[in-house]
Structure 1
Amino acid sequence: MSSDTFAVTSLFQLTIGVHALGSFTSCDGLGCYTEVEERREGGLNGHVWQLPGRLRYSNLTLSRPLTRQTTLIWLWLRQVSQATGVPLTRPLRLPGRLVALGPDQQPLVQWELDGVIPVRWSGPSFSTDQPQAARETLEIAHNGFIGITHL
């Protein structure tokens, strides 16, 4: 039997630069892929070469029920927009850290992200017709993984 245990996460903590943005209940898009270019060689009709290209990183989308922590996102967004002089036209890229916490709130895995920028923030839709928690969503882009650590 293996000594590995399966990671069961309950929260994700996100920090961008010095801004601890709080805990999120879901995280989608953590991954990367290689662009593949097809090349056809003259005279070789039964074969297409698959050539590796750039390594690309997916955007991360994090969401959570609306809490007072939403102001932490706005503090970061304000710093990004003020650093450029023109709101969100050339965002300030900062390192980031995403930590997956287990059910016991102990860190499981940590991803260090390079050059994080905001892509989109969306606030909750309010409706009295559907009694559900108001949620916010944050989408970020990054230049890649600086490191991944098992904690």
Structure 2
Amino acid sequence: MPLTETKDWALTVSYEVMLDETVLGAFATCEGLGIEVVLETREEGGNNAFPWQFATRLKYPNVKLTRPLSGDAERTVRWITGFLDSAKRVNGVITAKNSRGKAVLHWDLTDVVPVRWTGPSLNSDSSKVAVETLELAHHGFQVRK
């Protein structure tokens, strides 16, 4: 397919995160969306050419989201601190949006659990942007347009 055809390329992307009914807002980066097939290796007697490899299960790494600090951090911290009271896993959606704000792709995460929230390093001697990071564990995802 030639690149001249019109496509919804996710070039300038932001990621909007929603967990059940809680919208956590937009994030600037999203790392860790992936799938690893765990293999079990077996060697067969008399076969010196290769070991057999069998797929056993899928592993999903944690998703790490970062963004400049904003008022949305209050919603995120409130969700995390309230999580232990209910201990209820939630389903989530990460939506990639292009520079016009149009949704390009959605990842529907299953059984999301907060792992870590990290706030900014506050230093009045530095003029860096204050950044927050949210890390989520999950039991897999489906991709949809």
TM-score, scaled relative to structure 2? 0.91
Counterpart of 1:76 in 2: which secondary structure?
A: helix
Aligned CA distance change for structure 1 residues 4 and 51 (closer, same or farther; 3 Å): farther
CA RMSD of aligned residues (A): 1.4
1:104 is displaced (CA, Å) by 0.5
Q: Which amino acid aligns with 1:131?
A: S
TM-superposition CA deviations, 1:27-62 (whole Å, max 9, x none): 001111100111111222232111111011111000
Find the aligned partners of 2:22 and 2:39 in 1 and give their Cα distance: 36
**2:103 maps to 1:107:** yes
Find the aligned partners of 1:126 and 1:21 in 2 and give their Cα distance: 22
Aligned CA distance change for structure 1 residues 33 and 4 (closer, same or farther; 3 Å): farther
Find the aligned partners of 2:72 and 2:82 in 1 and give their Cα distance: 16
1:4 is displaced (CA, Å) by 5.6
Find the aligned partners of 1:127 and 1:46 in 2 and give their Cα distance: 59
Which segments of structure 1 move beyond 6 Å, counting only runs of 4 or more?
none
> Aligned residue for 1:15?
18
Contact 2:43 2:51 in 1 (8 A): yes
**2:54 maps to 1:59:** no
> Aligned residue for 1:86?
none
Find the aligned partners of 2:91 and 2:6 in 1 and give their Cα distance: 30
**2:37 maps to 1:34:** yes
Among 81, 91, 94, the alignment partner of 2:90 is 94
What stretches of structure 1 of length at least 5 have no aligned partner? 84-90
Contact 1:36 1:51 in 2 (8 A): yes
TM-score, scaled relative to structure 1? 0.87
1:94 is displaced (CA, Å) by 0.5
Find the aligned partners of 2:94 and 2:100 in 1 and give their Cα distance: 17
- The size of the alignment, in residue pairs, is 142
Q: Which amino acid aligns with 2:71?
A: R
Identity %: 35
